[in-house]
Chains A and B, each alone.
Chain A
Amino acid sequence: NAGVTQTPKFRVLKTGQSMTLLCAQDMNHEYMYWYRQDPGMGLRLIHYSVGEGTTAKGEVPDGYNVSRLKKQNFLLGLESAAPSQTSVYFCASSYPLTPGISYEQYFGPGTRLTVT
């Protein structure tokens, strides 16, 4: 089991360029998430998905789009990158949230993105 994988690991973009971050999981998890982590701040949820073909906005969705065409993959797109999107991006996955049961989130290794 590879768990959660992310590609690429590093990327430098110029302002206005676009890119897609790929997240893949082999644990058959229903739920997948995209977070960003900035210095001095906790991880903030960008978008999430509760199953194939469904996505929803998180805390900081502006400037990002996502797609979940296959259960195992969750893509994060930046249509027109801005310096404020310089961050470390983590993908995570988990089993469905069930009242009374605390399922952990499994994280990928992260993508370090710099926008100049």
Chain B
Amino acid sequence: RKEVEQDPGPFNVPEGATVAFNCTYSNSASQSFFWYRQDCRKEPKLLMSVYSSGNEDGRFTAQLNRASQYISLLIRDSKLSDSATYLCVVRNTGGFKTIFGAGTRLFVKA
């Protein structure tokens, strides 16, 4: 079983739609959680950190459920520019073991 698992998609949604991604992790000692965005043939860039209380940044909302060991990302009012791959990232106790999910591909259509 992979340490961090994501639905690979692709998710094809129209502009304006709401889309949700889930990610599960297997190590209960995991300490820090992130969502990164990666455009085609580009480097990953931090979208947002995920906090236990949940956090929101504009159209993006991230949630963490430690009991069930999953992280979610909700994108509201999707834009064409949201088309990218979204990587779930988990950092375990000790810090260096940063595990990247394989990513979920999103296509937003006009």
Residues of A within 8 A of B (CB): 33, 35, 40-45, 48, 56, 58, 90, 97, 102, 104-105, 107-110
Contact = CB atoms under 8 A, between A and B. Distances in A.
Contacts of B41: 110
22 contacts: A35-B100, A40-B8, A40-B102, A41-B102, A42-B87, A42-B101, A42-B102, A43-B100, A44-B100, A45-B96, A45-B97, A45-B98, A90-B44, A97-B91, A97-B95, A102-B32, A102-B91, A104-B34, A105-B98, A107-B44, A108-B43, A110-B42
B4 interface: yes
Given A42-B102, A105-B46, 18 more contacts: A42-B4, A42-B87, A42-B100, A42-B101, A42-B103, A44-B100, A45-B97, A45-B98, A102-B34, A102-B91, A104-B34, A104-B49, A107-B43, A107-B44, A107-B45, A110-B41, A110-B42, A110-B43
Interface string B30-50: 001010000001111110010
Main secondary structure, interface of A, reads loop
Contacts of B32: 102
